[in-house]
Structure 1
Amino acid sequence: MKYIEIQGVEKKISRLFMGTGDLRKLEEPHRIMLEAYIEAGGNAFDTAHQYRGREQVLGEWLAETNLREKVVIMTKGAHHDDGSPGPRVNPQAIRQDLTESLERLGTEYVDLYALHRDDPTVAVGPIMEELNEHLQAKRIHAIGASNWSHQRIREANEYAAAHGLTGFAFNSPNLSLAKPKEPRWEGTVSADGETCQWHVGTGLPLLSWSAQAGGFFSGNFAPDIQTDPEMVRVYYSDNNWERYRRAVQLAEEKGVTAIQIALSYVLYQPFPTCAIIGPRNPEELQSSVEAMNLELTAEEVAWLDTADKA
């Protein structure tokens, strides 16, 4: 396993985060996956207040295994569709969601806390002031944004710097080799070229959700296979099929799979990155670990991503 550091978190953080989207019950398949992830050297879990029941299950497992102090928890709050309707990016919603997340997880702090959505009509000042109160109280060790534009993150960090506060230490948008034609879910943000260049300049770590583009590179999809409306809507484009072709070509040259190439693409950007993964079995986990260790050159990364310029 490879690791990165994020300012504010004393623990090293594995570059593969274990997503908890399928963690509904502590049944055998889930226990096996969690144990396999820990055995592989993984120590970072992604969850959210809005993921119904997932925080409780993760908290139960951590209490049962006595692993809390050895792992990194990233949870998220202030999602628009979580509780009261409408935008919820405000101090009251942040406070409520964080308090409930800590109770559900059975912990006194979370290592990483991200705002799950943005509301650009809300000034960044009150948001940063609220988050810093929780940093001071040690309920959060590092703050970040999920699905915020890099311009808003920059604005928030400039406010923090001007007022003696701690700014966002990480960003968690989507980043994948397949580029979405439109947001996969309402209000989500994918890192485009400008965002990536901003990360190069700032060095701010990027923690990518849907790093494998919903399995676009798995071999289960093709232009004439229209059985998954979401995949067709989001990822079916000429440029993405060219990226797929290039991933297959490079995979054949290296003796690996196209989906491993796609994950390696995310992990070998010219700035710090992690990938949130959701393996369904130990074999898929091992595939992701192998992809993490499959180093791509800057030239290979650029070649994979220049389908629209060919």
Structure 2
Amino acid sequence: MKHVNISAVEKPISSLILGSDYFTPQNQEKVNEMIEAFVEVGGNTIDTAYIYAGGESEKAIGHWIDQSSNRDKLNIWTKGGHPNQNGHTINHGELYDQLQTSLERLKTDHVELYALHRDDLTVRVEDILEWLNEHVQAGRIHAFGASNWSTERLEEANQYAAKNGMQGFSFSSPNLSLAKAKEPYWPGCVSADQQMIKWHEQSQLPLFSWSSQARGFFTGRFTRDNLENEDLVRVFYNDENWERYDRAEKLAKEKQCSLIEVALAYVLNQSFPSGAIIGPQNRQELQSCGRGASVSLTADEIAYLDLQK
């Protein structure tokens, strides 16, 4: 499996990142099985968040850490700063409280990766960097990134950090998938378009994609005339994405792998460091992701899938 190096993190980040939004202590046996199977295929990074399953996701991961004594095998990535019923939570006090709660749930004194779940354009990047660097200096986080931020804000933040001897954003986490979103899946979410992809090519800032397999668009369960999944229809159904689907299906036959494995390989074979958050529900799906991570695509094949050739 490929890995992505981040200077502040000792263990390189596995290109497959295990999503955990369905983890809870109530399904702890399944949680344990999925984490162990993930480690077996070479994965070493788990994605969670303060808000996932109302905090139950972090608790379930914490139970696994406590029971297995294998904390050193994993990079833990959690997120904070998601808006709540009162609005944005990107401020010094709420970010501190959320991170402290996350660490308590996870039963650890630090996380290797931390990300802001959203941006708040009314808050200066200078202030946000000051707050995040406080946590770095205290050892609570090793590296931080931004989920659903624009490239303009990322660049502004990292230019300020470089000028002032601070740690900047080490990664970005928008949606990147072979199927291109027509509109945000959830309010405030950002999907990588060609401009963002070009920016990552130039900056070489790692990109860790959520919904890397387009919410199941490439599983084969959906067709042009199957409109039962309203969200999938709203976000991904258009002629261009169905053409990408057809091309991926053709390439999968040539490479003797599955359609969804080609879709995953698209994310992991970009011309900049990339990782894919995956959401397997069983060992079979996890093994499929492992196979997808081993599929190599050329620049010409990436362009062909993306309707550029």
Alpha-carbon distance in structure 2 between the residues aligned to 1:28 and 1:87:
35
Q: C-alpha deviations, 1:264-310, integer Å up to 9, x for none?
A: 0000000000000011111111111111111000100011001xx67
Aligned to 1:220: 221
Aligned to 2:64: 61
Amino acid at match of 1:49: Y
State TM-score, norm by structure 2.
Answer: 0.96
Aligned to 1:277: 278
Gaps of 5+ in 1: none
Aligned to 1:264: 265
Aligned to 1:10: 10
Identity of aligned residues (%): 51
Aligned to 2:129: 128
SS in structure 1 at match of 2:64: helix
SS in structure 2 at match of 1:112: strand
Q: C-alpha deviations, 1:150-203, integer Å up to 9, x for none?
A: 111111111111222110001111100000100001111111111111111111
Amino acid at match of 1:10: E
Aligned to 1:187: 188
Identify if the C-alpha distance between structure 1 residues 183 and 166 changes in structure 2 by more than 3 Å, giving closer, same or farther: same
SS in structure 1 at match of 2:37: helix
Superposed, 1:204-243 pairs within 5 Å as 204-243=205-244
Amino acid at match of 1:255: Q
Q: How many residues align?
A: 306
Aligned to 1:23: 23
Contact 2:28–2:60 (CA<8 Å) still a contact in 1? no
State TM-score, norm by structure 1.
Answer: 0.96
Alpha-carbon distance in structure 1 between the residues aligned to 2:50 and 2:205:
24
Gaps of 5+ in 2: none
Matched, 1:147 2:148: yes
Amino acid at match of 2:5: E
Alpha-carbon distance in structure 2 between the residues aligned to 1:91 and 1:195:
29
Q: C-alpha deviations, 1:52-83, integer Å up to 9, x for none?
A: 210011011111101112210010001012xx
Amino acid at match of 1:90: N
Aligned to 1:245: 246
